[in-house]
A and B are shown apart, each in its own frame.
Chain A
């Protein structure tokens, strides 16, 4: 389990793996899509995050596939990773709800 606060990059990488295994560049593309282009992971940054998540037991290698003479390694969430992502998502939803309430936007917590 993650013992420290999850970074934005780690959150997006775990989210990219939530619906199935992906290889390195697949994660980069999915993170860019998920963040609407705001998070553009460099390869050095991506593998820093993957290394940390693997060390924390949140992701693991899934399989390797050969393409264009190169091996692509796919990664998947572990059960701990799935749980950590769910907890982080809950936290972010709750935070967003408070923000919407304080800003007086629809979808915030009911006053009372």
Chain B
């Protein structure tokens, strides 16, 4: 007796529900027919049993899930709303990778400076000492992680998506090891949610979201992203370094606060385009910034827990969050416009 009142066809159709509606309208019945054909063995009794009690294999479910990712985070041949989501996720991944690469470049510059690799430079002040996380992993591993994020950004910008995914996946492992080591040895503060939030939101999520860089994805704008690294380093990392060098580092926001402020600045810079509604492409950038704001906001909220004994720092964190939310409201309407349902792309119809 069927335990769920369904047969194999129903179960497979339920799996196919993860696909976008426009795609199911076009292909679902055909996929079901092909799938049921693939389960036929020729043995009447076995076929009856499979038709009634069989379930789609995990490999079949995985192939449908991969197809769903490709369609929802679509390429140029998908409906505009899915293409917009795909582009927004791809740009958000590039932006997060850029931040990691900037931090990595900053760490490598400080390392070289502290080791006096450039002899004519004066010795750095003590406030700019090169530091790596204390724990089970040697400093060399962290320097390799810094390099890996820079290489990941270059690989994404140059279209080497598989290499980028592999390198980024490797780059997030040391941080996980450091966190697990800290949890098991007690060197990580009790209830330290911030470091875990950082790893999940800014390491794991971007690496998983790199699935958006699939075969159908249009290539990233190469030069803007390549130039963004040195430009971002000069505009963000160098001023921060100057503030630290002058002994005013205590005034700087923490990592999550800094992310909120960067997203806020980007939203303000983009707001004139988003509010003018004159360019169709502005909506994708607005959606990108909204995604980044959600990521930075979640990280800000999670890391507030680390300041639970300091109400002043919690207040500062909340102000950073509110400033970013206020800035995002300037672009969120434009982002919403990209979600307007549009007709499916023209597919050849059976005449």
Contact = CB atoms under 8 A, between A and B. Distances in A.
A25 B30 contact: no
Interface residues of B, number: 30
B34 A45 contact: no
A47 B38 CA distance: 14
Most chain A CB neighbours (cut-off 10 Å) among B23, B29, B35, B216: B35
A46 B66 contact: no
Given A28-B38, A70-B33, A43 B348 contact: no
Contacts of A73: 30, 33, 350
B27 A44 contact: no
Interface string A51-73: 11011010011011000001111
Interface string B23-49: 100110111111111100000000000
Contacts of B23: 51
Contacts of B60: 42-44
B304 to A, nearest CB: 42
A108 interface: no
Contacts of B216: 52
Contact of A7 (B32, B33, B215, B348): B215
A97 interface: no
Chain A: interface residue count, which band?
20 to 34
Nearest to B77: A55
Residue among A43, A57, A61 having the largest count of chain B Cβ atoms under 10 Å = A43
A71 B215 CA distance: 30
B27 A45 contact: no
A23 B347 contact: no
A42 B35 CA distance: 9
Given A45-B66, A51-B27, A64-B350, A70 B59 contact: no
B347 A55 contact: yes
A23 B29 CA distance: 12
A43 B35 contact: yes
Contacts of A64: 350
Contact of A48 (B33, B62, B67): B67
10 contacts: A23-B34, A43-B34, A44-B60, A44-B66, A46-B34, A48-B70, A63-B350, A70-B36, A71-B30, A72-B33
Interface of B: 23, 26-27, 29-38, 59-60, 62-67, 70, 77, 215-216, 345, 347-350
Given A51-B23, A72-B30, 17 more contacts: A23-B33, A23-B37, A25-B34, A28-B34, A42-B59, A42-B63, A43-B38, A44-B65, A46-B34, A47-B67, A51-B26, A54-B347, A55-B345, A57-B348, A63-B350, A70-B36, A73-B30
